Structure 1
Amino acid sequence: MNPSASGWINKYGSLVKDNISAYEDFGALYDGMKKIGFVYGINTQIPEFIVPEHTLTEDENAKINLLTSLYFTFTIETGETDFAIFLNRIFRFYMDLRVNQESLWAKLLSGTSTAAKLEKLVDSRVYLEDNVISKTFNSIITNSLLFIDILLFKRYLNQPEEIRKHGQQLEYIAINVTYHALSSKEKNQSDKRLEQLFEASLTFIDATKENFDGSYRKKVLENHLVWENHYFLDMACLTVWEDKSLDYQESEYIYGIGKDLGFSEKEIGRSLEEITSFFAKNSAVIPFLKGKNLAIQFYDSMAKVVNKLILRNSKRLQKELSESKELVYLISKSATKDLTSEERKKIQNQLIDIFKSIPSLAIFILPGGAVMLPIFIKLIPKLLPSSFDENRVEKE
């Protein structure tokens, strides 16, 4: 399954039907999604029953985790497992939530099926930016507050009235809890990046217009929905533990807000232990903790973009490359030997001809696009063979 190519949601539906009992209740779903980072907004893994055809990027993990959480919330709350019924219900939920810009609605209306429209909608929820180039230079890519969608959908299935208003309240509490958790410590560079990530992920409120005084605690005390309160506590723990330390002042805030949310000291301690374990396991791959220089960050981001473009256009690329034996030979040679300047020029010219025939690859022929060619040449032998037709659903 390739979440960056069309058809991936239908492919997911064909896989999940054999794993209906993966999560027995919402508590099991919440714990499972916390272990793989989705609750924290840091998608390091995906559910075990999904076996990808290639190494997934964080945003691709986020897409799968978002759809998985939505689907199992639906089955747990309604008892219904039909994937087509789920697609219609989740699409209606997002329409009632009014999360989309008018420009996106125009794109959605041009879709041919609910699944195709939902793929575009999921993209709009996962990505903070629509521009491919801006993503390349920006380490902040994936919406960090996506689990709020799950909490809202859970409520919507039982109480659909005023769902957007409730979304505003959830974001208001979440951003205040994280802001005050950050304020309880001396900020470092990672804290600033985390703060930017939270603010960029907001959908229903504008953080620049918020008054970050103590008044938010009144809403905390009035909120009695257990899993929403679990989420707020986990977001607070994430905020103070991201630097792998917890001083007295931070501890005082965590135990104070945890008590307001209705949790015992033992439950608060368990949340801190879980975030400690998560960071110990995943600190090397958590985006906002990476201290790479700009050149390495640029290369890594470019590699992700090129990776997706190759996978998305695998069929066309296989066909075009199979008709150019010299190009295939030179690309293979470049993996083990240095090419002459004439050979490098041949590769560039032949690749440009191929890119001209595939609209999705037009980015390579734009000014500056040539800097991605070496990355393309490096990735193409490894990715192309295994990426062929990944979202095809076998007929029974």
Structure 2
Amino acid sequence: MINPSAVGWIDKFFLKQNSSLLAAEMQPDLFYKKVRETGFIYGHIVSFNIPFQIVTKGWLQNEISKVALLNTLYGVYELTTGENNQEKFVSKAVAFYNEMNPQGFSLFKKILPDDSASVTLEKIIDSRVQTNIDIISKNFSHIVTNALLFIDVLAFRQYLIHGKIPEKYLKKIEEAIISIVSLALKTKSTKSKYDDLLIKLFESSVRYSKFSKVNIKNLEELKLDYFTKELEQNYLIDMAGMALWSDGVIENNEAYFLYKLAELMGVPDDFVTECMEKTNEFITKYKNEIPYFKYSNPVKHFYDQTTQTVVTLIGRNKNRLVKEIVQSKELMLLLAYSTRRDLNEKEKKKVRKQLLDICKTIPSLAIFLLPGGSLLLPIFIKFIPTLLPSAFNENLDHED
């Protein structure tokens, strides 16, 4: 019996499975479709693509996600290298995550020098999954959190091929996803105010590009020729398909958007048709189990949940935040001005950069530096002045 919350679960997993996927019998398109069947692409895992099934009754969702992430990483390792050497895989995965770790922030502080490679990987995977499910919110949108874990898989494949993660790869794929999902949402003929809020969140949420603004107005402006591999192309189409399905209907103009996206990447129309069918089939079947779709207006729920999360974090770290912020007169002024007028792009960039620097110094706010956490940043900026009015308004009055 495997316990993904106990030390040694990775070794036990491989001992039980022996090998997960046989690369010699697997092609990229088949590998992707099998991963999608498990729900990993959709951010809601319902099964594992393994020879010996595991009973998960009583498991927490994050425990299921741990095994799914491990298994998918190992699958792409076999697919890419043609090997099924589990020890070598673990070593490569640890080295990959050490390189992937963004902005010099230590994501894995609990790792000890004498940890074995497999125990180190367990802690890394725990950090990745916990970030997306528990720390931010158990009801955080599957479209923008757990589903984004497939970026790890794509980047790991690049690492295996090149011996390193290609420069700006993470930046480019993240911006492509954000831009495509944003454009997809904009094609919807009927949008609520919450759809518009979600679009703004996507456009403001750039993790690896150091605050460059994503401002793509149409598909033709995207540099999709950078993504030449089936796994990347299929994933981008599925992400757009999920965003369009959020109201349960894909209209003709939305379907056209998906086919146009596929055409620009040289993906056959058959895959788009299958994408829409599989997405509809999966979400319809598991809709009642996916937190994002349990509510009459999932986008409103998404925004409400993330807002509450940010308010709670600010409240818990209020004193430390004030102490850090008052040390920067420029940041104080800009936050104060934001309560009375819209900041321009240059000012917004300064605020985001300085607040993220502060987040690095406060452990509880480290989630803003992690996968999905950047989606909370615009709300974070919005609520700081309203929760801490005296410190900011007095400073602004003094300047006036």
TM-score, scaled to structure 1? 0.64
Change (3 A) 1:286 1:75: same
Aligned position for 1:227: 231
Structure 1 262/129 Cα, relative in aligned 2: closer, same or farther at 3 Å? closer
Structure 1, residues 28-77: CA drift from partner, whole Å, max 9, x if none?
A: 22111101211122323333533135333332222111111111211222
- Describe the shift of the 1:238–1:135 C-alpha distance in structure 2 as closer, same or farther (beyond 3 A): closer
Aligned equivalents of 1:193, 1:50: Cα separation in 2: 41
Matched, 1:257 2:249: no
Q: Residue 26 of structure 1 corresponds to which residue in structure 2?
A: 28
Equivalent runs, 1:171-250 vs 2, <5 Å? 171-185=174-188, 186-188=190-192, 203-205=207-209, 209-214=213-218, 217-250=221-254
Structure 1 CA distance for aligned equivalents of residues 94 and 215 of structure 2: 33
Given that residues 97 and 164 in structure 1 are in contact (C-alpha distance below 8 angstroms), is that contact kept between their aligned partners in structure 2? Answer: no
Deviation at 1:155, TM superposition (A): 1.8
TM-score relative to the length of structure 2 = 0.64
1:149-160 equivalent positions in 2, closer than 5 A? 149-160=152-163
- Segments of 5+ residues of structure 1 without an aligned counterpart are 302-396
Matching residue of 1:375: none
Deviation of 1:164 (Å): 5.1
Aligned partners of 2:203 and 2:215 also within 8 Å: no
How many pairs does the alignment contain?
293
Which amino acid is the alignment partner of residue 34 of structure 2? Answer: G
**Whole-angstrom CA distance in 1 between matches of 2:17 and 2:210:** 37
Q: Which residue of 2 aligns with 1:349?
A: none
Other-structure match for 1:96: 99
Percent of pairs with identical residues: 29
Please give the per-residue CA displacement for 1:228-283, whole angstroms capped at 9, x wherever unaligned: 11111111111112322111221221221121121233332121111111122211
Partner of 2:6: 5
Structure with max Cα Rg: 1
Kept in 2: contact 1:173–1:216 (CA 8 A): no
- Structure-2 residue corresponding to 1:112: 115
* Correspondent of 1:279 among 283, 288, 293: 283
Give me the whole-angstrom Cα distance separating, in 2, the residues matched to 1:77 and 1:28: 13
Answering whether residue 65 of structure 2 is matched by residue 62 of structure 1, we say yes
- The verdict on how the C-alpha distance between 1:18 and 1:143 changes in structure 2, with shifts beyond 3 A counting, is closer
The one-character-per-residue Cα deviations of 1:368-388 (angstroms, maximum 9, x if unpaired) are: xxxxxxxxxxxxxxxxxxxxx
1:91-149 deviation line (CA, Å, top 9, x unaligned): 111112224864434322455211111111112222336976x646x545853301111
Give the distance between the partners of 1:61 and 1:154, measured in 2 at CA.
22
Task: Say if 2:20 and 2:74, in contact at 8 Å, map to a contact too.
Answer: no
Q: Distance in 1 between matches of 2:218 and 2:253?
A: 17
Q: Distance in 1 between matches of 2:287 and 2:134?
A: 28
Structure 1 residues 209 and 86 mapped into 2: Cα distance closer, same or farther (>3 Å)? same
CA RMSD of aligned residues (A): 3.4
Structure 2 residue identity aligned to 1:4: S
CA distance in 2, matches of 1:200, 1:66: 27
Partner residue in 1 for 2:85: 82
Indicate how the Cα distance of structure 1 residues 227 and 178 shifts in structure 2: closer, same or farther if over 3 A, else same.
same
Structure with bigger RCO (C-alpha 8 Å, 6+ apart): 1
List runs of 5+ in structure 2 lacking aligned partners. Answer: 306-400
> Distance in 1 between the 2:104 and 2:64 partners?
24
Q: Which residue of 2 aligns with 1:47?
A: 49
- Contact residue 66 and residue 125 of structure 2 kept, 8 A: yes
251, 267, 291: which one aligns with 2:271: 267
Judged with a 3 Å threshold, the aligned counterparts in structure 2 of structure 1 residues 126 and 192 are, in CA distance, closer, same or farther, namely farther
> CA offset at residue 184 of structure 1?
0.9
